[in-house]
Amino acid sequence: MPADFTTENGKVRFNIGDIEEPYILSDVVIDGLLAKYTEESEEYRIWAATVDALYILKGIAAKNSERRREREGSVEVEVYSNLTYDAIKDLLDYYKSNPPKPSDTYGYDLHIFGGVSKEEKSRVKNDNDSARPYPEVDGTYEKNLSMFLGVLKGLNKVVYEQGYL
């Protein structure tokens, strides 16, 4: 029975090119690879399991390299070939260099460009339940900073006068 490419298992199987029976990697192996990433998003799980499966296929292909001798007249040549290994390696390199975008992985975009409207900023500032990572700019922060810098300046003067540095 052909693979169902709508499932995570089928998507990994499609990505690695193992789509014809008998399969090289069993469903149990692919399900095991997917199970390693259960806490991740679907896109990331499929990508990570694809990379892991390609490593397995690369190891299998490395053992099955072709070696033959050819003779032309008095010259004998040994030919080494492993087209399957090279193809798997290229596919693995492609997937490793193209991981899912953060928005695909986490379900949201990590960056907001362009800022926020003044109305939205005011709404958040006036909401008592809002958490803000920085102190309010109501003069308190500036006063504290100015006082801190004054203390540092005075401390600096004492350090140099006393010869500590």
State the pLDDT confidence band at 71, using cuts at 50, 70 and 90. confident
Give the burial string for 81-113 (b: 16+ CB within 10 Å, else e).
Answer: ebebbeebbebbeebeeeebeeeebeeeeeeee
For residue 132, name the pLDDT band (cuts at 50, 70, 90).
low
Q: Can you give the pLDDT at residue 123?
A: 80
Over 90: is that where the pLDDT of 52 sits? Answer: yes
Encoding tokens for residue 142?
A: 């500036």
Give φ, ψ of 98 to 5 degrees: -130, 65
- The pLDDT of residue 161 is above 80: no
pLDDT of amino acid 48: 93
